[in-house]
Structure 1
Amino acid sequence: MKALLLLLIVALTTFGQAKEGRWPSKQRLRSPNGEYEIFCLGKPGSEDFHLILRCLKGKSESEIYHFDRYLTALWSPDSATLALTDYPGSNVAESMIINLSAPQNQLSIDGLILKAFPDDIWNIHYYVVGRRWLSPNVLEVGAEGHSDQPGLPTEFKIIYQVTTGGEIKRITRMHRPPGKMKFTSFSEPCPK
């Protein structure tokens, strides 16, 4: 009975958790349904890396993304989609959604934010990161960053929900003013 209870607790606590990978590394990340794995090819220090999708049944492989520095990936719960966050520089992170049925058609989350909420784009350290899948079609995204300019809010956090169909909804906007410890909500445009 205790073993069954322990198994139930483990199943309930792991249900819905994101499958996340970080590269460059030797990590191979399997999809939740076990049909695919993704991994990285490239030489350490080369700034020339390739994210490879491998179908485990047919053993076919294809490159689905090229990156230069650092990349994270989250599998959707249904294994049909990947959320990628590319860190091309020390002051920026860009995110996209890739549907495995058409990996060449990447949905730019940064582009969606710029189009729907142009006042949310800060011209400073700006990191758009896929945080977790809320359902097979809805990704929670965080935009976070900070300013190096005196007098501007030192840190900000904005949370969005993005669908695989390209719809976006802003959930909250917060910033921490200079010298303050707590984040507060704000509605004014972001500093440029």
Structure 2
Amino acid sequence: MKRWRLPLVFAAVGAALLFVLFQGFGRDPHEVPFMLKGTAAPDFTLKPLDGGDPVKLADLKGRPVVINFWASWCGPCKYEHPVLEWGAREMGAQAVFMGVVFEDTEPNARDFLRRMGASFPQLMDERSRMAVDYGVAGVPETYFIDAQGTIRGKHVGPIDPKTLATRVQELTQPAARPTAEAARQN
């Protein structure tokens, strides 16, 4: 009588595993559930790596902002950095670009930027408080904030030129009103 239970247990576990796997098919792996989308961006005051005056998000109100969290020890960040340099040059009139050093030292960050270039402000998040406020899970992560200070979205992993250009363009458009379906999904 107990012989039939074991195959039934295996069948149930297999069905549950297949259900979980099929839930992930067709989804973009860069789309991570993001609770801050559509909310006011957490304010911050950080010192620039170049030693200038502290940078405050509140002072940038009225301009779209692209914030990239990165580190010198991050392999994908090295791949992504030229894309951000290009974006800052090509789209800097449409949005303010800023880099935020995540879990790294100033000397390592400066050495990275000396080799890779630094055409936009780079800020030190010394105790990772800003990263915690924004929900950074790892680097690279890029956040998109509209002129009203609302987080429109984030990109996890190295961003490509097409995605960056699309996201910056979206920042210059009015925010889409959430549909009932979108509200249920968030």
Give the structure with the higher percent helix: 2
Q: Which has the higher contact order (CA 8 A, sep 6+)?
A: 2
TM-score past 0.5 threshold: no
Give the structure with the higher percent strand: 1
TM-score after normalising by structure 1:
0.29
TM-score after normalising by structure 2:
0.30
Larger radius of gyration: 2
